[in-house]
């Protein structure tokens, strides 16, 4: 079987070389837009990451393609309509790191509520004074609104309960276990208006595009904390920029953001950029804003799970078996 991997780290290359010796492998550290498609024209299985954009223009140049595996939970970077038309199977990693992402969500929240960034900046100037600008907030005094209670949102809600927070939640499908533990499901607009903290755990779809926008920010409490560890385009950069500038948003934490690949993959060195990037860079200068480079999933355990799950999905497909929990199409 001809298998192509893109966007690999060194440890991943070594792992797949060791475990897939019987196949014809092409292993690239670069994303697919940096790879000559003529070099991988015979690819039957394509294994990618979130920064590999698989539109019709790319996929149409891979006539032998039978299966796409993305080493991520989200599949918004893949043209699923084209895959349906051509009978190309699609697999993802649905449950490799819910706890990792939930823990990162709270790492971000605690950094905001305990003013860690402000403290570090002061200490860099040899200022170790204990003043009002370092006054923290106890989490059990806050109401958190969890938007999306799939695997990651559920873990986030459970952590919030452990911290003693009042937990509100919104999802098109409620989780009975969370209800039993005291989580209150409410309509989206109610959560937006009642929550001191709003954390996003939804997939990116046309319906969730700019779910957080100028209108939703206006409905939020004054001094709200907003956290996004889902997908960048769920949040309108312009709206949250204004929210921080005006003080409506007291604390902002982003692990994902619009046009993130330009900064994460250093595409600015190629002359690429956007006004959204400029606003992200400006937001970084604020003490009440924390931005991390799409690393909520990035733990040792999660990375091992991704490698093993990818190998399992390939093995199932080669054997002609159902892709089971990995199957998207």
98-291 has the same fold as 2-96+300-326: yes
282, HSE (Cβ side, Cα atoms, 13 Å): 13
> Is it the case that residue 95 has pLDDT exceeding 90?
no
Q: What is the mean pLDDT of residues 272-298?
A: 96
CATH code at 2-96+300-326: 3.40.50.720
Q: Would the CA dihedral through 124, 129, 135, 139 be positive or negative?
A: positive
| pLDDT value at residue 96 | 85
**Average pLDDT of the chain, as a whole number:** 97
Question: How far is residue 278 from each of residues 121, 213, 255, 275, measured CA to CA in Å?
Answer: 22, 18, 16, 5
Q: Which residue in the list 12, 258, 260, 261 is annotated as catalytic?
A: 260
Domain boundaries, the chain: 2-96+300-326, 98-291
Q: Are 76 and 231 in contact (CB under 8 A)?
A: yes
Which uninterrupted H or E stretch holds 5? strand 2-5
Q: Which of 104, 166, 231, 258 is catalytic?
A: 231
In the predicted model, is pLDDT for residue 139 greater than 90?
Answer: yes
Give φ, ψ of 67 to 5 degrees: -145, 135
**What is the tens place of the pLDDT at every residue in 304-323?**
999 999 999 999 999 999 99
Which residues are 46's β-sheet partners? 4, 68
How remote is the C-alpha of 86 from its chain's centroid?
Answer: 28
Find out whether 277 and 259 touch, Cβ atoms under 8 Å: yes
* Catalytic-residue membership of 312: no
- Longest CA pairwise span in the chain (Å): 65
Q: Is position 267 annotated as part of the catalytic site?
A: no
| Residues 225-231, mean pLDDT to the nearest whole number | 98
pLDDT at 97 over 90: no
Residue 325 catalytic?
no
pLDDT tens profile 236-278: 999 999 999 999 999 999 999 999 999 999 999 999 999 999 9
Answer yes or no: is pLDDT of 289 > 90.
yes
CATH of 98-291, one of 3.55.50.30, 3.40.50.720, 3.30.70.920, 3.40.50.620: 3.40.50.720
The model's pLDDT over 184-198, given as tens digits with 9 standing for 90+, comes to 999 999 999 999 999
Round the CA-based radius of gyration of the chain to a whole number and report it.
21
Give pTM, 2 decimals.
Answer: 0.94
Six-digit token string for 285: 């200068």
């Amino acid at each position: 079987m001809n298998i192509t991997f893109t966007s690999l780290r060194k440890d991943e290359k070594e792992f797949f070389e060791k475990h897939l010796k019987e196949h014809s492998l092409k292993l690239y550290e670069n994303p697919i837009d940096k790879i000559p498609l003529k070099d991988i024209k015979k690819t039957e299985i394509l294994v990618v990451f979130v920064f590999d954009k698989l539109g019709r223009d790319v996929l149409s140049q891979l006539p032998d393609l039978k299966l796409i595996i993305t080493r991520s939970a989200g599949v918004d970077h893949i043209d699923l309509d084209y895959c349906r038309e051509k009978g190309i199977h699609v697999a993802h990693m649905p449950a490799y790191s819910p706890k990792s992402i939930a823990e990162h969500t709270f790492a971000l929240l605690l950094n905001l509520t305990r003013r860690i960034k402000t403290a570090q900046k002061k200490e860099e100037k040899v200022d170790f004074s204990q003043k009002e600008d370092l006054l923290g907030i106890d989490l059990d005094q806050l109401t958190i609104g969890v938007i999306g209670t799939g695997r990651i949102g559920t873990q986030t809600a459970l952590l919030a309960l452990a911290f003693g927070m009042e937990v509100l939640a919104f999802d098109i499908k409620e989780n009975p276990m969370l209800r039993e533990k005291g989580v209150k499901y409410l309509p989206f607009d109610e959560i937006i208006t009642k929550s001191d903290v709003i954390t996003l755990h939804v997939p990116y779809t046309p319906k969730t595009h700019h779910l957080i926008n100028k209108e939703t920010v206006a409905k939020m409490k004054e001094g709200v904390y907003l956290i996004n560890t889902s997908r960048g385009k769920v949040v309108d950069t312009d709206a949250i920029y204004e929210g921080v500038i005006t003080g409506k948003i007291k604390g902002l934490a982003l692990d994902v953001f619009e046009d993130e690949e330009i900064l994460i993959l250093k595409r600015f060195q190629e002359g690429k950029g956007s006004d959204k990037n400029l606003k992200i860079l400006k937001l970084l200068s604020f003490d009440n804003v924390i931005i991390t480079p799409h690393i909520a999933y990035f733990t040792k355990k999660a990375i091992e799970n991704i490698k093993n799950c990818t190998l399992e999905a390939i093995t199932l497909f080669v054997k002609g078996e159902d892709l089971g929990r990995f199957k998207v199409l």
